[in-house]
Amino acid sequence: MSNSISAQETPDSSLEKSNVASISSNYTTTEPYASTESHSRSLFTRFVDTFKEVEIPQEVQEQLNDPNITEDEKRNLRLKHTPLSKNLKVRHMQMIAMGSCIGTGLFIGSGSALRTGGAASLPICWSIIGFVAFFTIHSLGELATAYPVSGAFSAHATKFIEPSFGFAIGWNYTLLWLAVLPNEIIAASLTLQFWNTSINPVAWVSIFYVFVLSINLFGVKAYGEAEYIFSLIKVVAIVGFLILGIVLICGGGPSHGFVGGEYYHNPGPFANGFKGVSTVFVTACYSLGGTELVGVTSAEAGNARKFLPSAIKQVFWRIVFFFFGSLTMISLLVNSKDNRLLGTNSADASASPFVIAIKNGGIKGLPSVMNAVIMISVLSVGNSAVYGCSRTLASLSAQGLAPKCFNYIDRMGRPIYGIALNALFGLLCFTVASNHEATVFAWLMSLSGLAIVLTWSSICLSHIRFRMAMKAQGRSLDELAFVSRSGVYGSIFGLVMLMVVLGLQFWVSLFPLGSEGANATNFFQNYLGGVIALVFYIGRKLWVRKLWEATPLKEIDLDEGRAAVDMELLQQELEEERASLAAKGFFYRAYRFWC
């Protein structure tokens, strides 16, 4: 009986087979690789075969070779058919959105910000920048859900602003991650000095270098799983610290000392006046960098229309609890004049205000646990650096803004040349053996020091241009699967605030704290990234000899590159979801609005 049932082919099963056949026909492989004889071949041979390039479908290749097709149409075709592997699940994307930017900027950088700006500067500056991040990521979510293409914001900037702008932003963002990878590997090795280990840092650097690259060589699923675990550890650590912070503030720790708002009275809520607070704004932007990676993952999501909105909504909770909450605790628990906040280097875990707060509370053992969390966070950022850089390079290549080799996608969906470039730059981590390591990385990071601010600005501007094009062409927002909670006004506010941050950064870079006049060295170490982005932009303008490349609003093709969805079916699904939500209670509707 069971055999006869299993042998039957139901309409559903035949439909499933046709869907699988349709999907598998998009990208073909060479016959030896796809044949059943592959099972008898050696494991090594099959592993080598995974590095072979995925073949572009014949019909797509014919379209690309059509002499009548425009450059914009070619660019959109290459982006749409970039054969990245769609193996990221909703839990991966939610956790990447939740914990992708929790790293040294929060755990260690907040210490220097506390000393520079004072206790009140932490919750104030992080709240303002947090709102900017919230508006920016919701704008990115609206764009990436509609256009889930490789590279996300770089491709959006090219489409909705102009190619030279997308070129400058894409390469500036690439430089950021190329510089971050070796820096984070060194930082991870230096966190081990917290335990006074006698092992040479070069040994740890070697281990971490191989570890980070290996994760990315196993494909996007391995990256997603690794980030899921890393982010889960960071989230649990922050939640634990929030609970512990409340206990310590109320005097419930081993030291039994009630803290309350003591440090807001002595030494006071602010340090170094407005310039000190301005410096903290820059640190806050850096610490929230990486939030935009959730947009990059849209091209490799199993179902971007379902997964991405859910992940985007997690940004609100991360900002409220993990940044505003934890930094408010820090401002109450750690004296801004504490000399331990100075540290010996950018990865000195003993200078972390989180570690100092636990030590002040008289709790033994927990500082080591927090240091381990910091090390994991640093490795997580290094892991994201390889992922973000390689995918951005693939997008730039597909747009014709980078060498063609970077759009080489192998059979596991890896942009292998982008990963190789990361591996090459990653070798700079071995400068840890040099006495000039700090100087090398100060200038290396200066090349892309403003990358986060510029990238977020491009996202906001792209969203504004997208909404303007929708209005100019009489298109309705009802056709969008996800609409930004803050709308176009959120993007305008975000763009204005980011321009303010750029102005403040210019001021504190040229006239740093403690300097009586202009400091050229400090300026270029902190503002060179803006100069580099401008050089990229003007350089491409001179190369193509076109002063204005922006497409008029009414001529922007809003359908090309869109996610392949049945618009009628999408409208029906959205109406059903709205009707179902309207029937629920107020608190549930509020919950779904933010989650």
- Segment 100-116, tens digit of pLDDT: 677 778 888 888 889 99
Averaged pLDDT, 487-507: 93
Contact indicator for 117, 277 with CB cutoff of 8 Å: yes
Between vectors from CA 201 to CA 197 and to CA 207, what angle results, nearest 5°? Answer: 105
Report pLDDT for 9.
41
Q: Is the pLDDT of residue 228 over 60?
A: yes
Tell me the C-alpha distance between 425 and 525, whole Å. 19
Tokens of 280: 């903290």
Averaged pLDDT, 118-123: 91
Cβ within 8 Å of residue 143, ≥6 positions away = 152, 153, 156, 295, 459, 462, 463, 466
Residue with tokens 């997603």: 224
Higher per-residue confidence, 334 vs 45 = 334
Domain boundaries, the chain: 89-542
DSSP 185-202: HHHHHHHGGGGT--S-HH
Report pLDDT for 423.
93
Contact indicator for 553, 468 with CB cutoff of 8 Å: yes
Contact indicator for 558, 472 with CB cutoff of 8 Å: no
pLDDT tens-digit series, residues 155-170: 899 889 999 999 999 9
pLDDT tens-digit series, residues 467-477: 999 999 999 88
Q: Which of 87-96, 190-199, 251-260, 351-360 has the highest mean pLDDT?
A: 351-360
Averaged pLDDT, 123-133: 90
- The distance in angstroms from the start CA to the end CA of the chain is 47
Task: Give the residue among 210, 64, 159, 237 at the shortest CA–CA distance from 395.
Answer: 159
Residue 183: CB atoms within 10 A of its CB come to: 25
Q: Is the pLDDT of residue 78 over 60?
A: yes
CA 474 to chain CA mean position, Å = 33
Q: Give CB contacts under 8 A, 24+ apart, made by 574-583.
A: 574/478, 574/481
Q: Is the pLDDT of residue 435 over 90?
A: no
Between vectors from CA 107 to CA 509 and to CA 187, what angle results, nearest 5°? Answer: 80
Q: Is the pLDDT of residue 255 over 80?
A: no
Contact indicator for 547, 541 with CB cutoff of 8 Å: yes
Percent of the chain with pLDDT over 70: 89
The percent of the chain in helix, strand and coil, each rounded to the nearest 5, is 70, 0, 25
Of 53-62, 135-144, 371-380, the least confident? 53-62
Tokens of 370: 């927090």
Report pLDDT for 566.
62
Report pLDDT for 457.
94
Report pLDDT for 499.
94
Tell me the C-alpha distance between 201 and 189, whole Å. 6
Residue with tokens 């075709």: 77
Tell me the C-alpha distance between 17 and 29, whole Å. 19
Higher per-residue confidence, 516 vs 133 = 133
Tell me the C-alpha distance between 324 and 48, whole Å. 48
Q: Is the pLDDT of residue 23 over 70?
A: no
> What is the pTM (predicted TM-score) of this model?
0.85
Q: What is the mean pLDDT of the chain?
A: 81
DSSP 367-406: HHHHHHHHHHHHHHHHHHHHHHHHHHHHHHHHTTSS-GGG
Task: Give the residue among 134, 153, 154, 151 at the shortest CA–CA distance from 143.
Answer: 153
Cβ within 8 Å of residue 418, ≥6 positions away = 389, 390, 391, 392, 393, 394, 406
CATH class of 89-542: mainly alpha
Q: Is the pLDDT of residue 207 over 90?
A: yes
Q: How many helices, marked H, and strands, marked E, lie in the chain?
A: 29, 0
Report residue 28's pLDDT band, with 50, 70 and 90 as the boundaries.
Answer: very low
Averaged pLDDT, 411-432: 90
Task: Give the residue among 497, 415, 408 at the shortest CA–CA distance from 456.
Answer: 497
Of 92-106, 231-245, 271-285, the least confident? 92-106
Tokens of 417: 């040349």
Contact indicator for 334, 117 with CB cutoff of 8 Å: no
Q: Is the pLDDT of residue 211 over 90?
A: yes
Tell me the C-alpha distance between 483 and 358, whole Å. 42
Report pLDDT for 323.
85
Residue 480: CB atoms within 10 A of its CB come to: 17
φ/ψ of residue 87, rounded to 5? -115, 5
Tell me the C-alpha distance between 27 and 414, whole Å. 14
Tokens of 511: 């006239």
Averaged pLDDT, 421-439: 85
Cβ within 8 Å of residue 65, ≥6 positions away = none
Cβ within 8 Å of residue 346, ≥6 positions away = 104, 108, 183, 187
Of 49-58, 176-185, 266-275, 396-405, the least confident? 49-58
Q: How many CA atoms lie within 13 A of 355 on its CB side?
A: 26
Q: Is the pLDDT of residue 563 over 80?
A: no
Report pLDDT for 38.
47
Q: Is the pLDDT of residue 481 over 70?
A: yes
Give the CA radius of gyration of the chain.
25
Contact indicator for 180, 392 with CB cutoff of 8 Å: no
In angstroms, what CA-CA distances link 426 with 124, 180, 186, 496?
A: 36, 9, 10, 35
Report pLDDT for 168.
93
Q: Is the pLDDT of residue 305 over 70?
A: yes
Contact indicator for 492, 463 with CB cutoff of 8 Å: no
Contact indicator for 300, 90 with CB cutoff of 8 Å: no
Residue type present at position 106: L
Helix ranges (H only) for 147-290 are 153-160, 163-191, 201-217, 220-249, 262-265, 273-287
Q: Is the pLDDT of residue 459 over 90?
A: yes
